[in-house]
Amino acid sequence: MASLFRTSVVYIFVIICITSEIRAQTKRIDSQFRIARLKYSGGSDWYNDPSAEVNLLKYVKQYAGIDTDPKYEFVEISNDNFFSFPFIFMTGHGNATFSDYETKRLRTYLESGGFLFIDDDYGMDKAVRREMKKVFPENDFVELPYSYGLYSCMFSFPNGVPKTHEHNNKPPQGLGIFHKGRLVIYYTFESNPSDGWADPDVHNDPQEKREEALKFGTNIIVWSLTQ
């Protein structure tokens, strides 16, 4: 009987330890910074360069000391877990459309503390401006001055947005939409830093361009978390 009692106690202790470890791991995962790629309608390649976020999150973890979860995830605005991501990344080469429901839900997400980074991969500017106007009809994109905190919060970018991918021979721009003084949407145009986040053999960008793009992406994340 005593032996059976001791066995039962050991069994219960093991179960408690395992349960505690599972809870601890779940808590650690929940606390890690994550990026979700926005899956949207309209026909554009929202899914391109899936290594981009993974490499950026690894870089952020190494150089900014932020506990990240470096993996590729995508989410639709209508998904139940949409609000669980603090940072949403949108990119592509073409059209994008949001339904009325998605428009309202995205606005609620942004007003509730969420952050949207849009990187025009060349070809989606018209759609971005049109759809974001539906989300915030009372606001227009404004170009951020070089003195804006995002450009110096971690690494220094005295000339604003870096030019990662040359395409139209036009100057890069960093545009934003604010809600109650907080930058809620940041949009890089004629710049394409996310190209530099992708694996080296994807776009064959020089190492210094990739390093510059990763530093700039780190600034975006740090700024989104510290406003």
pLDDT tens per residue, range 63-98: 999 999 999 999 999 999 999 999 999 999 999 999
Residues 138 and 162 in one domain: yes
DSSP letters along 173-192, please? EEEEEEETTEEEEEEEES--
Burial 91-114 (b: 16+ CB within 10 A, else e): bbeebbebeeebbebbbebbeeeb
Q: What is the per-residue pLDDT for 96?
A: 97
**Amino acid identity, position 144:** L
pLDDT for res 31: 77
Domain harbouring 57, CATH code: 3.40.50.12140
Pair (26, 128) in one structural domain: no
Whether residues 124 and 190 share a domain: the answer is: yes
Both tokens of 213, joined, read 């793009």
Do residue 131 and residue 80 come from a single domain? yes
Question: Are residues 222 and 144 located together in one domain of the fold?
Answer: yes
Q: What is the pLDDT of residue 22?
A: 29
The domain in which residue 12 lies consists of 1-31
Do 127 and 170 fall within a single domain? yes
**Total number of domains in the chain:** 2
Residues making up the chain, counted from first to last: 227
**Residue 97 CA: distances (Å) to CA of 11, 82, 129, 225:** 55, 17, 11, 28
Q: Given this model, what pLDDT does residue 30 score? A: 57
14 and 85 belong to one structural domain: no
Clarify whether residues 75 and 92 are in a common domain. Answer: yes
Please indicate, yes or no, whether residues 5 and 59 belong to a single structural domain of this protein. Answer: no
**pLDDT for the residue numbered 10:** 35
Domain identity same for 27 and 115: no
How much is the pLDDT for 89?
98
Rounded distance between C-alpha atoms, residue 191 and residue 213, angstroms: 10
**Do 24 and 76 lie in a common domain?**
no
Tell me what pLDDT residue 79 has: 97
Residues 129 and 142 in one domain: yes
For 178, other C-beta atoms within 10 Å of its C-beta total 13
Residues of the chain with pLDDT under 50: 2-29
pTM: 0.86
